[in-house]
Structures are given as C-alpha cells and as structure tokens.
Amino acid sequence: MLPQSIFGALALAAVAVCHPVLDPISAMKRAPSPGVVITKCAKPGVIALAYDDGPYQYTSELVDILDAAGAKGTFFWTGTLYGCIYNQAAAVKKAFASGHQIASHTWSHPQNFGSLNSQQLTQEMKRVEDAFVNLIGKKPLYMRPPYLATGGAVLPTLGGLGFKVITDDVDSQDWNGWSAQQSQNAFQQAGASGNGHIPLMHETYASTVRTLTPWLINWAKQNNLKIVTVAECLDDANGAYQPGTFTGNGQNTC
C-alpha cells in the first residue's frame, strides 16, 4: 500500500491536470509591462470587450447591458472628447461600482497624439488621471492611445509613467461607418480560438451599445468565452489601478 502522503500528492496532481493553476511567479511573468504595446489577451477562453471615447450618453445603458449578462467591460475614457467627464459623473461612478475596468484614453484625445513631446503627453495623461481620482478615487494603469498612435515619444513616456498600453487585434470599425452586422462579421472571421481578443469599439455609437454588444455577449456564450476586463484577460486582475488611496483636488468642471 502506498503511503498516505503519496496518495495526497497523486490527488493533487490529478486536480492540477484537470484545473491547472497559474502559480504566482508565472502570473507575474505574464502580467503586462508598462510602455509595451499589447494587442490581445494572454490566454484562451476569454474576450475583453473594450470601449473608447466615453463617457457619453450611452455609458449607463451599456453598463446595464453588461451587468445583466454578468459581463465585465473596460472603458477607455477621455476628459473632454464628448463633453466634460464631470457631466457624466453618475455613469462613471456606476461603471466603477459595477466592477468594470476604468482606463485612460487621454484628456482631450488629440489628433496629433503620436507627435506630441513627452511634456505634452504627460499633461494629457495627468489631467485625465486627476479626473479619475476626483470621481472614483483611483489612478488607472491602463490606457489606449488615441488613433492607436504609439510612435515618437509615446511609448517611452507612457512607460516612464507606468502605463500599460493597449491597442487591439479586432477592429469593429464602428468609427468607420460599419454597421453592427459588418462588425459581427469581423469577429466571426477572427474566430474564437487562440488567445482572447481585445477589440476596438466605441461606446459613442448606439449600434455598438444596443446591437453589437448584445450580439457579442451571445457569441461569447456560444463559443464558451468568458467576458472579462482587459486586466483580467492579461492575468493582471490586481494591476488595473495604482495601489493606495488618493485625494482629489475637488475639481468638478473641465
């Protein structure tokens, strides 16, 4: 008869085969580094629904759609692109309280983001960071560059500031006038195998919120994909925000 300790070891090994556990060292190695462009998830079986350009008039509705499905989204928000972020304070707080990831898309979404110098880039990031502290008490560590621009001083500056830079691997092209059906075709062509997708979508289009997102929720379910935040799909669930608590400056206008 085998010693009880050996039985225990075999039992643990069997569990590990059925349900592999990522040890802390491996998780740290897989967690994204600041200033490095990340296009997709670090593991299969997930999808990270990521939305740019808000907060906007559809934000609260989008949160409700995701919440009803038990799905977590990631919101890359600006300070002033579609009005002042403080005018959407209730929706911002609602999304954060519901467990969705809040991330940065710069303060003003400059068209020439890729040609800004380090000082200008830093100002864009710090201003929206201040707004997040005022509204939710957190400083995001994730950002998506306007127009996905990563040239010039962008990556060195963002890396120095500690930001993890996200682009995409599936473009919904809602910004380019595509219908929800055309966007759906893009996801079907990309498929559900391999590491999970981080798509480029915009919460500023009603069709993306009301048609594409519910379709994606069903598509993910049909393909056994879990809808998670960008940080979670990168095994960085505890790294979405800077650690600690922060005091806002009391500002509530842009």
Which residues does the annotation mark as catalytic? 52, 202
Bridge pairing between strands 170-171 and 199-202:
parallel
CA distance 145 to 159: 13
Which helix (H) or strand (E) element contains residue 119?
Answer: helix 118-136
Residue 38's closest CA among 140, 217, 164, 154? 164
Enclosing H/E stretch for 200: strand 199-202
Q: CA-to-CA distance for 38 and 54, rounded, in angstroms?
A: 21
Cis peptide before 55 (omega within 30 of 0): yes
Residue 215 CB neighbours (<10 A): 14
Angle at 126 between CA 82 and CA 206, to 5 degrees: 20
